């Protein structure tokens, strides 16, 4: 003779089934946290705005800076000699200008830290289908604005930068098909740090803010 199930036991059954289903679900090998199995954020102080005093007139100082910026890899977008302003943009590798910490890719040995500013990293997580890889790309788009202000026989130049860091993961099959793309952009300005998620935190290394001093020197 069968014993009727008690209502209490019936209520527990769906919860147990749900628990079993969750326990059996394999982690997503292409999630960011799976592709980057360890992350060490940048340390140290955040670079302040760039400031430089030159013994020159406003117009010659702005003109000289505008002429020198392309040598540092920046494209001058606009120059206003009367107001003493320059806008310049940069697009490309983040490594020269940012510190985004370090990460260990999935499938790499312990201690194989890569700079998170790395332009391109090829990641093969354990258990991935043969030939399928994740391509991690990081690019920087930055806009530098220089403002000049006459100060007696000097010109004081200030510079601030608007940073956009875009990280893209493309999961590519052996035949070249892109199976999945995840792309996100973090935004911050000079004097700040930006955080995309637990695996990416970026800050300026100060070189772009100090570029005026470098060019003047």
Partner 1 sequence: MDYLRSLLVTLRTLLVASAASGALSSSGQTQETDPEAQLWAEALEEGTPDAFQNYLDTYPFGPHAQEAFEAMIVTALGSRSIEDIEPADGGPRVDVTPLGDLY
Contact residues for partner 1, defined by CB under 8 A: 45-46, 48, 77-78, 80, 83, 85, 87, 89, 141, 143, 145, 162, 164, 166, 183-189, 191-196
Nearest residue to 100 (alpha-carbon basis) of 36, 182, 183: 36
What is the C-alpha to C-alpha distance for residues 5 and 158, in angstroms, rounded to an integer? 77
> 40 or 183, CB closer to partner 1?
183
> 112 or 198, CB closer to partner 1?
198
Q: By three-state DSSP, how is residue 108 classified?
A: coil
CB of 169 to partner 1, least distance (A): 12
Residue 38 in tokens: 């360890």
CA angle 205, 211, 213 (to 5 degrees): 120
> 45 or 153, CB closer to partner 1?
45
User: Are the CB atoms for 32 and 136 separated by under 8 Å?
Assistant: no
CB of 102 to partner 1, least distance (A): 19
| DSSP calls for 117-132 | T-SEEEE--TTPPTT-
CB of 194 to partner 1, least distance (A): 5
CB of 186 to partner 1, least distance (A): 5
> 203 or 212, CB closer to partner 1?
203
Up-side HSE of residue 172: CA atoms within 13 Å toward CB?
14
């Amino acid at each position: 003779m069968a014993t009727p199930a008690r209502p209490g036991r019936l209520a527990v059954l769906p919860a147990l089934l749900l628990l079993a289903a969750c326990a059996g679900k394999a982690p997503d090998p292409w999630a960011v946290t799976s592709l980057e199995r360890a992350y060490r954020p940048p340390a140290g102080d955040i670079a302040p705005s760039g400031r430089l005093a030159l013994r020159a007139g406003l117009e010659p100082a702005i003109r000289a800076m505008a002429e020198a910026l392309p040598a540092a890899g920046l494209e001058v977008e606009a120059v206003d000699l009367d107001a003493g302003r320059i806008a310049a943009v940069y697009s490309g590798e983040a490594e020269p200008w940012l510190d985004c910490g370090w990460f260990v890719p999935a499938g790499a040995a312990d201690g194989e830290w890569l700079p998170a500013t790395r332009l391109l990293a090829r990641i093969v997580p354990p258990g991935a289908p043969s030939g399928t890889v994740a391509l991690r790309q990081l690019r920087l788009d930055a806009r530098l604005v220089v403002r000049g202000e006459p100060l007696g026989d000097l010109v004081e130049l200030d510079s601030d930068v608007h940073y956009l860091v875009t990280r893209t993961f493309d999961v590519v099959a052996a035949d070249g098909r892109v199976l999945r793309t995840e792309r996100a952009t973090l935004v911050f300005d000079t004097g700040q740090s930006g955080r995309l998620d637990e695996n990416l935190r970026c800050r300026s290394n100060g070189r772009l803010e100090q570029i005026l001093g470098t060019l003047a020197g």
